[in-house]
Structure formats: structure tokens, C-alpha cells
Structure 1
Amino acid sequence: METLYISCLAFGILFAFVSVVLGDILGSFLDGALDFLSVDGPGIFQPAAIAGGITTFGGAGLLLERYATLDEGATVLLALLIAAAGSMFVFFLYVRPMRNTEATSGYSMQELGGAIGEVITSIPAQGCGEVLIRIGAGVTNHTAESFEGKDIPTGSRVVVVEVKLDVLAVATMDERGEM
């Protein structure tokens, strides 16, 4: 049984090394062939949680076999219980929070309606300029035209009134934040 425990422990260490240290590097070279190592599996049966359970089984079994005075069946059963607890520990304290923190910086142009921005390239009455709009923690710049058909100077605060195909129609705001 000691060989089984050492093998499980070695597998877990190798899995951790490959998925954490080399996962992104190898994944880019192998064009996504290692994507199964990510945290996107079904329910509690995530690859990282299962590998954590196997590693815990190997480590717990090895320690129990060497230092506890239990028979072989009790050692395996206790190692399995500890492995299940370790697997759940990995799932609830690592995998699940990582899945919930995935965020994207992508946005749709349609989401910009009502957004407040600043003119960075003046907008002529009949033409286009450029506005800077804050999206989440970042900023983005877009081509803009005057919704009211008036010149809008650089540095003016504007609000997106209409989102067209490639252009934002904006209107100026006064100091009080009103149009």
C-alpha cells in the first residue's frame, strides 16, 4: 500500500506543478489541449479538487501507515475520509471562489448609453471627435458626434445619448451634471 500512497502523492505534486507553473505556458503551445486543468468542470468534481483529494489521500495514507497503529483497512478508510475532506477543502476555499471571481473587461457598445465621458478631441457641429469613457476600472475612447448639432470643446463633460453603429451621439453636461 505504501507504493500506492507514494504514487498518489507524487501524482498530486506533478499535477500541481503542471497546472500551476506550466499550465499557461504549455496550454499556449498546445493550443488549449490542457484546458481540462482549469476550474471549469461540473459541480464539485473539478480537476483541481479531485487532484487535491488524490494528493491528500496519498499523504494521509503514507503518514497513517508509518506512524499510526491501525490495520491496513482502517488506514485506507481513514485516508479516504481525510482525502474527501481535503478535496472539499480545495473546492470550497480555492476552486469555487476562483470561478466566482472570473470577470471580463469586455462590454457591448449598447451598454454605453447614459455613460458619462470627457471629450478628448473636440467635436464639431457637423463631424466627429473623440470621447473618453470610464468602464469599470478602465477607460475606453470612442468616436463621437454631437447629438445637439453644436460644437463641443475638448475637456467638456458629456453624456452618451444614443449609440449608433460606429459612433456615440453625445450631449454636453453643465457643472451640476445636467444636460
Structure 2
Amino acid sequence: MELFGSQIESIYLIVLIVSSLLTVLYIFFGDIIEGMSESTGFLNPTLILSFFTFLSAIGYILEKLTPFGTSAVLGISIILALALDTLLNYFVLIPLSNAEESLVYTEDSLKGRVGRVITSIPKDGFGEVLIESYSGAVAKSAVSFDNIDIASGENILVIDVINGVLHVTIQESFDDY
């Protein structure tokens, strides 16, 4: 069948090539486009590009390998592209966006955390502590909250964070009581 004076297979192939090239451009310049799409909320460029890529690839393959008519191929392609797009969104894009947010920490979230001194903290000076979590480890400069020496290897408790510096005290174990 012909559409706009071209074979339908050629149109599917052209759409596949164009959507693939736009996907590569989106990889390089995606931050600019994401800034513009923040106002719309529901138009995710990744999903739109993947929909056209899936649609054209499935349409091209079905036109070449099956005896179905053009309308049936287009209908099947749309249904399968929507299904694959939905699976891509729920099983890849949403978990990736949630994982990206979970790696972020704020200074307030460090208060009350337990860590270990990796560079001893002198009475009136700075040292360094390591705070470990499921998403990784954070090394921060620290001072003694009680204004005492804290040796390397000691377990500490973060009391406060002021200007990016942790104010820590030695963590007391329950065995002492």
C-alpha cells in the first residue's frame, strides 16, 4: 500500500530512523528539553520517543513478515507500542527516578546518625567522620560537641550540623549502663 506517494514500509522505516536520531539527540541535550517539559508534567519526551520507535519498528516488521492489511498492522503496532511504553515507564523510568531521589541527603538528615571517626578529632580542631548507609558512605569534617579529643576508630553520634561541619559526640553503648 502507498501513503503520500511512498510505500508504507518506507514510512515506517523513516519514522524509525528519525525517532532513533531524536533519541540520540535527547540523550545529549535532554536537560534542556526536560526544563521545558517541567511545565506540562505529563509529556515525557522519553515516552514519546520510545512510543514512535516501538510503533515504527513493530509496523515495519509486521508489514514485511505478515499478510495482514495496513490498517490491521497499524492497529496492532499501536497496541503493542502502548503496552511496551507502559512497561518501560512502570518498570524502568519510575524506579530510576525514585532511586535518583533516594541517593540525595541533606545536612538535617545527618543529625542523629551514627558514624565512625576516620581522622581523629582534637579538642579544639577538626577531624573527619564516615557515615555509612544503604545508598553509600559520606565522609564529612567534624568537631567535638563536648570539646574533647575523639580518637580514630571511635563510634560517634551526630548532634548538629553547622556550616557543613558535623558536631559529634562519642556514642555510648548500652553495655555501660
Q: Normalised by the size of structure 2, how large is the TM-score?
A: 0.71
Cα separation, partners in 2 of 1:130 and 1:86, compared to 1, 3 Å: same
Counterpart for residue 132 of structure 1: 129
- Which 5+ residue runs of structure 2 have no aligned equivalent? 1-7
- Aligned partners of 1:135, 1:86: CA distance in 2, in Å? 38
Structure 2 residue 110 is matched with structure 1 residue 103:
no
SS at match of 1:122: coil
- Which 5+ residue runs of structure 1 have no aligned equivalent? none
Pairwise CA distance, 1:117: 3.2
- Aligned partners of 1:131, 1:177: CA distance in 2, in Å? 26
- Aligned partners of 2:165, 2:176: CA distance in 1, in Å? 22
2:155/2:170 contact within 8 Å kept: yes
Pairwise CA distance, 1:100: 2.2
Percent identity between the two aligned chains: 19
SS at match of 1:107: coil
Structure 2 residue 68 is matched with structure 1 residue 70:
yes
The residue correspondences of 1:145-164 to structure 2 (distance < 5 A) are 145-147=144-146, 149-164=147-162
- Considering fraction of residues, name the structure with more helix: 2
RMSD: 3.4
Counterpart for residue 14 of structure 2: 7
Counterpart for residue 117 of structure 1: 115
Counterpart for residue 87 of structure 1: 85
Pairwise CA distance, 1:54: 0.9
- Aligned partners of 1:69, 1:56: CA distance in 2, in Å? 20
Cα separation, partners in 2 of 1:8 and 1:112, compared to 1, 3 Å: same
1:117/1:159 contact within 8 Å kept: yes
2:47/2:85 contact within 8 Å kept: yes
- Aligned partners of 2:63, 2:82: CA distance in 1, in Å? 18
Pairwise CA distance, 1:64: 2.2
2:9/2:63 contact within 8 Å kept: yes
Q: Normalised by the size of structure 1, how large is the TM-score?
A: 0.70
